[in-house]
């Protein structure tokens, strides 16, 4: 590309963006679930730094990105020893931004087609996260029961619901109190990934734990789980996604178990269902996955079997 062609492309980009309500990066990120935007944006920043772009992503002239730029980014990430999953996620993010460029009329179909020709990196990665043992779950529950504050009751209920249904933390914070039937244990999950809706049912034990929280919370309208103050006052505000992360981290430390994340409770739910003999397609439906291969990645039974085998050797 000559200097003159580059200048024309830059002028074309900024002319279009000036008359648009949004830029391609913002448009693309708005289409993702809120919990995934930060990580994807971080990957995008790493990627454009490889091709020597400095500054805000929203200000980058994306229409100058060509096939060779994505190839350079992919090769550089491979040389840095990044996992196949990280590289493919980065490429998917870049292609997502470029598709937004196409939809905004910033690039043409031929350019988008060439960019989409960049192949994914092949590679098998080890399952991420872990599945909690029954003993670890008991310890988690125990530290919550020892905390007699309203915060303790709330955290206990949150952990119980996540383990009983496998719902994501973004779904936990979005549950409205009217979406839960205290009599049947039916839970309507209205804010699933991709705006999908599904139904889950709490078991008897989890319903008792949630009831203890509701006795403190009351039946007023609002979110099922609310923020609480240090003095024990329950507020009407919605919990933040990172608060769920901190709750799980804090309670795991108090229980003196291996560190775990909110998504590990989801992996535990899937693994326990499969261990109980539930078929993988039913498990997929219960956990809210579209692709059965995604559910298969949550199956951590092999890891447990390997640990048991090593204990036998001891």
The pLDDT, as a whole number, for residue 15 is 59
The values of phi and psi at residue 236, to 5°, are: -90, -5
DSSP string, 260-308: --HHHHHHHHHHHHHHTT--HHHHHHHHT-SSHHHHHHT--HHHHHHHH
The helix-helix angle for 84-103 and 34-50 (nearest 10°) equals 90
Spatial distance between the Cα atoms of 284 and 245, rounded to a whole number of angstroms: 24
Q: Give tens-digit pLDDT for 172-214.
A: 999 999 999 999 999 998 765 656 788 999 999 999 999 999 9
The pLDDT, as a whole number, for residue 23 is 86
pLDDT at 1 over 70: no
**Segment (H or E) for 199:** strand 198-201
pLDDT at 7 over 80: no
**Segment (H or E) for 228:** strand 226-228
Spatial distance between the Cα atoms of 27 and 24, rounded to a whole number of angstroms: 5
How many Cα neighbours within 13 Å face the side chain of 230?
0
List the domains of the chain with CATH numbers: 3-116 (1.10.150), 134-309 (1.10.443.10)
Among 143, 151, 140, which Cα is nearest to 212's? Answer: 151
The pLDDT, as a whole number, for residue 83 is 86
Question: pLDDT tier at 311 (50, 70, 90 boundaries)?
Answer: low
Question: When comparing pLDDT for 35 and 242, which is higher?
Answer: 242
Question: When comparing pLDDT for 154 and 296, which is higher?
Answer: 154
The values of phi and psi at residue 198, to 5°, are: -155, 170
Averaged pLDDT for residues 296-303? 76
Among 38, 116, 51, 112, which Cα is nearest to 77's? Answer: 51
Look up residue 75 and give its two tokens: 């090769």
Look up residue 80 and give its two tokens: 């840095």
The pLDDT, as a whole number, for residue 3 is 64
The pLDDT, as a whole number, for residue 314 is 58
Question: When comparing pLDDT for 1 and 165, which is higher?
Answer: 165
The pLDDT, as a whole number, for residue 99 is 95
Q: Give tens-digit pLDDT for 77-92.
A: 999 988 888 999 999 9
Among 53, 77, 80, 78, which Cα is nearest to 65's? Answer: 53
Question: pLDDT tier at 256 (50, 70, 90 boundaries)?
Answer: very high
174 near 226, Cβ under 8 Å?
A: no
């Amino acid at each position: 590309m000559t200097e003159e062609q580059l200048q024309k492309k830059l002028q074309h980009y900024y002319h279009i963006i000036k008359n648009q309500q949004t830029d391609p990066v913002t448009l693309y990120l708005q289409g993702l679930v809120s919990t995934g935007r930060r990580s994807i944006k971080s990957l995008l920043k790493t990627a454009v730094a490889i091709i020597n772009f400095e500054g805000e992503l929203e200000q980058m002239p994306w229409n100058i990105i060509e096939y060779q730029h994505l190839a350079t980014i992919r090769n550089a990430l491979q040389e840095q020893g990044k996992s196949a999953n990280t590289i493919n996620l980065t490429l998917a993010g870049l292609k997502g931004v470029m598709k937004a460029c196409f939809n905004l009329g910033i690039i043409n179909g031929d350019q988008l087609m060439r960019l989409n020709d960049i192949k994914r990196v092949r590679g098998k990665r080890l399952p991420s996260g872990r599945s909690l043992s029954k003993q670890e779950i008991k310890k988690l529950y125990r530290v919550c029961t020892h905390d007699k504050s309203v915060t303790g009751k709330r955290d206990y209920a949150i952990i119980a619901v996540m383990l009983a249904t496998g719902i994501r933390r973004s779904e936990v914070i979005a549950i409205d109190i009217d979406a839960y039937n205290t009599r049947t244990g039916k839970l309507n999950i209205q804010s699933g990934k991709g705006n999908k809706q599904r139904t889950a049912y709490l078991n008897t034990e989890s319903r008792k734990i949630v009831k203890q929280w509701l006795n403190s919370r009351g039946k007023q309208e609002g979110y099922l789980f609310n923020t609480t103050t240090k003095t024990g006052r329950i507020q009407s505000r919605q919990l933040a996604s990172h608060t769920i992360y901190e709750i799980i981290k804090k309670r795991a430390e108090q229980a003196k178990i291996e560190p775990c994340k909110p998504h590990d409770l989801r992996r535990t739910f899937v693994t326990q269902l499969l261990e109980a003999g539930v078929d993988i397609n039913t498990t997929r439906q219960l956990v809210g996955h579209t692709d059965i291969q995604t559910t298969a990645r949550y199956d951590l039974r092999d890891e447990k079997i390997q640990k048991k085998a090593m204990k036998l050797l001891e």
